[in-house]
Amino acid sequence: MPSDTLSHLLRDNYLISLLRGKRSQLVHRQQLVSLSESKSQTEIVGLLAEGSYGPELSKLQGESSPIDTERAIRLGFARSVRGLISASSADTHDFLLEYRRRFDAYDLAGLVIFKAQDKTWEEYLATRQPLALMKEPELHRLYSIEDLSAIATAAGDRHLVERLKGFSMEDAAGERASLVRDAINGWGEERFYKHIDERLSGPDRENCLPIVGSTIDIANLTIILRSKILSTSGIKDHLIPTHWKLNKRAIDQLLASTDVSQALDSMASHEYYHKFLAGARQKYEESKSLAFIEVALRKHQLRLSTRLFVSFPYSVGIVLAFLVLKENEAKNLAAVLTGVGAGLPADELRSLIAVQD
């Protein structure tokens, strides 16, 4: 028996059993469909009251704002992840802390966008990620800094500073805000990818790389597509320099595409991503939005994660697989609650959620 497998058997047997039990409690496809057809947020909260998000949702008052409902779901998700961290040890504990560290980048991206748009500290604080490791006083200090490069230097490292070179706070307030956000989020995803690629080995690395690697590739694809929508030059400087299946040649081909449609056609012929993004050009031309790409990525990662549960359980891969399933559940429930509160038609709302085909 390989030493990595034996290590997980001895160290993480309880955690893996715990994950299998928690997986059986996840909201399944038909439940999500039923929730999307609900008449009100109050009805949904009532249906979810006995589930893992009950403690947070029970604190909502009537038809809550989108910020309040999303916050409640995030808090429930964060509580679940913290429970796993408490139940883990040694390398698995370190892995979970690196997973949690990703949320610092999301927090930082939100901070930059809110500040650039002259929103108050209190408005930002209501939307921050409860899983992020950066403390509130540190975030408050960053909120007082006026220069984007200075914020990147204080909160990140040279890689983040380089990734944001050429961007300003004015960009974060205008039509290029999405690019600034994606560049910061990509920096966070790259740190997690490097931990897996450089620190893990054997089945741990092998099982995790397809999930985190596809995140890196699609993050770069999204940045390139946004740059074409906005006719932004010099976008190569803002890409994640780490590649998985989208190597330098594929990236250069995407950068050379004349527009979004041609870039999506290029991805549709890619040996790994052709099934993933089949029909992507038509979806974009119908919606004029890139939202479908995130949903496609989440569906892809759901398939990878489900396979891990039924194939080789004794690796840290099953921990990441559960986190993918749980994070996707939280995003789906937040979308349903927000969509129902906004009065979106059920069929339109269902296009925003990711469930396995």
Q: Average of pLDDT values for 187-196?
A: 96
Residue 308 forms part of a structural domain: no
Q: Is the pLDDT of residue 298 over 60?
A: yes
Residue 100 forms part of a structural domain: no
Residue 181 forms part of a structural domain: no
Residue 336 forms part of a structural domain: yes
* The pLDDT of residue 355: 87
* The pLDDT of residue 211: 97
Nearest alpha carbon to residue 45 among 24, 26, 64 = 64
Q: Please give the mean pLDDT across all residues of the chain.
A: 90
**What b/e readout covers 47-69, taking b as 16+ CB neighbours within 10 angstroms?**
ebeebbbeebbeebeeebeeebb
Residue 310 forms part of a structural domain: no
Q: How confident is the model at residue 12 (pLDDT cuts 50, 70, 90)?
A: low
Q: Is the pLDDT of residue 353 over 60?
A: yes
Domain membership of residue 357 as a residue range: 1-87+318-357
Q: Average of pLDDT values for 37-47?
A: 88
Lowest mean pLDDT among 76-90, 138-152, 181-195, 213-227: 76-90
Q: Average of pLDDT values for 235-246?
A: 93
Residue 120 forms part of a structural domain: no
Nearest alpha carbon to residue 296 among 202, 196, 222 = 222
Query: In angstroms, rounded to a whole number, what is the distance separating the alpha carbons of residues 82 and 103?
Result: 13
* The pLDDT of residue 4: 55
Residue 159 CB-half CA count within 13 A: 15
pTM for this model (two decimals): 0.91
Residue 135 forms part of a structural domain: no
Residue 40 forms part of a structural domain: yes
Q: Average of pLDDT values for 9-35?
A: 81
* The pLDDT of residue 1: 44
Token look-up 């802390």 returns: 97
Q: Is the pLDDT of residue 52 over 80?
A: yes
Query: In angstroms, rounded to a whole number, what is the distance separating the alpha carbons of residues 257 and 268?
Result: 13
Which residue would you say has higher pLDDT here, 343 or 195?
A: 195
CATH number for the domain including 331? 1.10.132.50
Q: Is the pLDDT of residue 352 over 90?
A: no
Q: How many domains does the chain have?
A: 1
Q: Average of pLDDT values for 194-219?
A: 95
